[in-house]
Amino acid sequence: CHLIHYLRLSHHLIVLNYLVGTFDKLKSVSSEDINITDAVFDGVEVRVFEPPAKHDERLKRSVIYIHGGGWALASARTSLYNNLCRIMAESLDAVIVSVEYRLVPEVCFPEQFHDALRATKHFLQPDVLAEYSVDPSRIAISGDSAGGNLAAAVCQQLSKDERLTIRPKLQALIYPVLQAFDFNTPSYQQNVNMAILPRYVMINYWIDYLNGNYDFAHSLLINNHTALDVGQALSFRGRLNWTSLLPSSFKKNYKPVIQTTGKAEIIQEIPALLDVRAVPLLAENETLQLQPKTYILTCENDVLRDDGVMYAKRLENAGVEVTLDHFDDCFHGCMIFTIWPTDFSAGVQTRNSYIKWLDENL
């Protein structure tokens, strides 16, 4: 993809990148008992967090974790994610595999997806699990934001791969980004200018991830790419009808934005807008029926809130057991902000709830 796309990211993204770099210099806060090693799984870098082995202990549980950052920022090695994974390893007495997938602008979709899929499939091999003393029946795949997108997409792909003998027992998605079909869901309208992730920034992330053209940004914002006369989008419309998928407490008084005439050339130039590997919420019911027990964490003050709520509802409708863990007073990205100077109560609250669910279900 073109470097110019990345250079045109907003000042907002540059600030976020600066903050990520600043936090990387902060001291780690977890115990020294966790063994951290860097490895390469089928050409993909990973960081592995292993609790100390105990005498006569059974095989350990494991979580494959995929970090967020709009497919363009952050790293498994930054202290924000390093601390999260250390605390998970410690609290769950589990092996955590944090995937260091390549980022925009080095690569665009589908390479991030392929990296996450390759690393996951490599880890799920019986001999690799044995090397790390992991129980094949107790593995979860998880991620936050763009990492939640990749986790959901990888989980869907694994569920359809008949050659696999080992698949995740659970998926746990933290304020995941799951669709680029409708940028006017109630949460997008309600939180249009919300700090951390305003709507225009999320659209920028999508354009960069899918190697699109910034000239389409305004058309995406008003849903021109999925107008009623855009034939390619018609078959997907029923899979993302928030008027039927969202409870009234989330719909509030917001109205759908559905254009009668739009720009079919957007989908022609960016076909990945309708590719389920990029937009897992658009998957067909037959795929959703194959998904494992699922946890989805959403925050009220987040444009992506309804992505997670709609996915929870679609999975439930397909017969999957789902826990929707919604936080009324929290914001996008809060779970990684648990160390000084951003040791927010929202971060500790959401992280504890997430780890508790994993502990009870994995």
Instruction: Name which of 358, 361, 333 is nearest 87 in CA terms.
Output: 358
Which residues are designated catalytic? 145, 302, 332
d(CA 173, CA 296): 5
Helical H segments across the chain, by residue range? 3-7, 11-23, 79-92, 111-123, 126-131, 146-160, 186-190, 199-209, 217-221, 231-234, 242-245, 248-251, 264-269, 285-288, 305-317, 345-361
Phi first, then psi: what are they for 79, rounded to 5°? -65, -25
Contact 80, 243 (CB under 8 A): no
Q: What is the dihedral of CA 156, 159, 164, 166, to 10 degrees?
A: 100
